[in-house]
A and B are shown apart, each in its own frame.
Chain A
């Protein structure tokens, strides 16, 4: 974002893979998305050299906003070193030759799948989401013509029908991810399959949020400091998941935890889903209740970010 992308001769690829005309087209869609928070802007999504479902929408958005001076962080389910994150980071290292990092605070562009970092984001950062199904009403109303009309006319009764069903069948709102939100008091939006734990972070976030859906050919955005409200009922207010234990490795509370199976004898551990946050805390000397467990040590890893990155 810092510098205008220039033609960057790297041999075969244009800077960040996409050609400049395509980037212009995507930037226009992004600008429109920012101007109308939560509105799904159709765009001419390109074939990317990776399958749909790998984040082709997010990759196109990132490719369009990336500048030479940017520092990129890739997250897959909160972690920097799982397949999706490693592959996409490698893709941009190769095609854009930009600096990459594991550290949330160092990154200027963060592309993510399913999580928002625990650390609060700043105004000079951009968060790019990979979105599989951008339409929050899709499973309630299969017709695209109809859902577009419903958005246009703010006809959102159906969304509450889903929540009603949840309560009727489960006694509480059982939607735990892709939890629908109302953006800027106007558009109902699907915050991509992030756990609802992250919904409060979307509200009034300092960083710009861009959502890209490659297969469905939609881009939408939430500008910094925009009101985002999770839908609920007066007598069943929105709540995030609660964990009764802290992170097994770093002892952090009030963070989103992943369950890790340690052995085939029922051993398990709950650790921070945000791996960078967890490592940073451990480096600062925080110790969780499971940190001494040998199996846990193996999973937690001893390497620092720098070592891992250099591998």
Chain B
């Protein structure tokens, strides 16, 4: 499967802008993402983080520029030149998308097991017993008890929903996962457990992750590299520790110094 070298980038973004009419969503964004790398995009509300994430994950077409992805066969393909069917297949096999609000990423009226099994069935799995076994295994990995497999996510707490959403995304062994504020709206102790879990899964599975967050602590814990965005532009990028310990731009300094100390 790994026919390409480990030092080949998985995702290449060349000068991607997205305008909403005359307004800038994000502009001039270029970066490479390598296999197994976790990249955090941080910035305040309205800085273009989510717009950028949506462009990367083919949920929102960029105004110009190119986003290239290395397919499983090792070839580099421009995402927006793929057919819609191919993009969908990518979305449900090779990629994951974890929404801030778990209800957006889950089917709230079907059981947890079916939520996890949906991707398997979408790619042609037709053996109930095996699908259920896999779903059970994944629920275990995200610390959801087996006896909840037939319960609706409606009956789950916020933290459990978020973990279920993660299981649902990882069941097809994706190589790239997008996360939009995965810890938003959770209380701190649940956040801490979720972050532990994410860190373990990312390391175990060698996932590449693009994570959007306004919480620098999340970025610090999970990511290897960080991009600071403001007014739709990337104003600073570098290794996470470097940027957070020694921010160069005044805005990054402001952001880092705004963290509440307890």
B110 lies within 8 A of A153 (CB): no
Interface size class of B (residues with CB under 8 A): 20 to 34
A169 lies within 8 A of B111 (CB): yes
Cβ distance B167 to chain A, nearest Cβ, rounded Å: 15
Residues on A with beta carbons closer than 8 Å to the beta carbon of B150: 168-169
B residues 84-129 touching A (CB-CB < 8 Å): 84-85, 88, 92, 107, 110-111, 113-114, 117-119, 121-123, 126-129
Q: Is the interface of B mostly helix, strand, loop or mixed?
A: helix
Known: A153-B85, A153-B88. A161 touches B110 (CB 8 A): yes
Q: Which residue of chain A is the closest to B118 with respect to CB atoms?
A: A161
Q: Does A243 contact B (CB under 8 A)?
A: no
Cβ distance B239 to chain A, nearest Cβ, rounded Å: 39
Cβ distance B144 to chain A, nearest Cβ, rounded Å: 15
Chain A: residues with Cβ within 8 Å of the partner, total of 20
A165 lies within 8 A of B128 (CB): no
A residues 212-259 touching B (CB-CB < 8 Å): 232-236
In angstroms, Cα B149 to Cα A165, docked, is: 11
Residues on B with beta carbons closer than 8 Å to the beta carbon of A169: 111, 150
Q: Does A160 contact B (CB under 8 A)?
A: yes
Query: Scoring B residues 62 to 102 as 1 if CB is less than 8 Å from chain A, else 0, what string do you get?
Result: 00000000000000000000001100100010000000000
Q: Which residue of chain B is the closest to A157 with respect to CB atoms?
A: B122
B113 lies within 8 A of A168 (CB): yes
Q: Does A204 contact B (CB under 8 A)?
A: no
Q: Does A164 contact B (CB under 8 A)?
A: yes
Residues on A with beta carbons closer than 8 Å to the beta carbon of B88: 153, 155
Q: Does A158 contact B (CB under 8 A)?
A: yes
Q: Does B131 contact A (CB under 8 A)?
A: yes
B128 lies within 8 A of A167 (CB): yes
Q: Is the interface of A mostly helix, strand, loop or mixed?
A: helix
Residues on A with beta carbons closer than 8 Å to the beta carbon of B111: 165, 168-169
In angstroms, Cα B150 to Cα A164, docked, is: 10
B114 lies within 8 A of A157 (CB): no
Residues on A with beta carbons closer than 8 Å to the beta carbon of B114: 161, 164-165, 168
Residues on A with beta carbons closer than 8 Å to the beta carbon of B132: 164, 168
Residues on A with beta carbons closer than 8 Å to the beta carbon of B84: 149, 153
Residues on A with beta carbons closer than 8 Å to the beta carbon of B127: 233-235
Q: Which of A157, A162, A233 interacts with B128 by CB under 8 Å?
A: A233
Residues on B with beta carbons closer than 8 Å to the beta carbon of A168: 111, 113-114, 132, 149-150
Q: Which residue of chain B is the closest to A231 with respect to CB atoms?
A: B126
Query: Scoring A residues 141 to 174 as 1 if CB is less than 8 Å from chain B, else 0, what string do you get?
Result: 0000000010001111110111011011100000
In angstroms, Cα B149 to Cα A233, docked, is: 19
A164 lies within 8 A of B113 (CB): yes
In angstroms, Cα B88 to Cα A149, docked, is: 11
B85 lies within 8 A of A157 (CB): no
Q: Which of B92, B119, B123, B131 interacts with A164 by CB under 8 Å?
A: B131
Cβ distance B134 to chain A, nearest Cβ, rounded Å: 12
B129 lies within 8 A of A235 (CB): yes
In angstroms, Cα B122 to Cα A153, docked, is: 11
In angstroms, Cα B84 to Cα A160, docked, is: 22
Known: A167-B128, A168-B113, A168-B114. A157 touches B107 (CB 8 A): no
B129 lies within 8 A of A160 (CB): no
In angstroms, Cα B122 to Cα A158, docked, is: 7
A161 lies within 8 A of B128 (CB): no
B residues 125-161 touching A (CB-CB < 8 Å): 126-129, 131-132, 149-150
Q: Which residue of chain A is the closest to B85 with respect to CB atoms?
A: A153
Cβ distance B154 to chain A, nearest Cβ, rounded Å: 14
Q: Can you list 28 pairs linking A and B with CB atoms under 8 Å apart?
A: A153-B84, A154-B85, A155-B122, A157-B119, A157-B121, A157-B122, A158-B118, A158-B122, A161-B110, A161-B117, A164-B110, A164-B114, A164-B117, A164-B128, A167-B128, A168-B114, A168-B132, A168-B149, A168-B150, A169-B150, A233-B126, A233-B127, A233-B128, A234-B126, A234-B127, A235-B127, A235-B129, A236-B128
Which 10 pairs of residues, A with B, have the shortest CB-CB distance?
A: A157-B122, A160-B121, A233-B128, A157-B121, A234-B127, A153-B85, A164-B114, A161-B114, A168-B150, A235-B129
Contacts A161-B110, A164-B121 supplied; 19 other A-B pairs, CB < 8 Å = A157-B118, A161-B114, A161-B117, A161-B121, A164-B113, A164-B128, A164-B131, A164-B132, A165-B111, A165-B114, A167-B128, A168-B132, A168-B149, A168-B150, A169-B111, A233-B128, A234-B126, A234-B128, A235-B129
Binding site for B on A (CB under 8 A): 149, 153-158, 160-162, 164-165, 167-169, 232-236
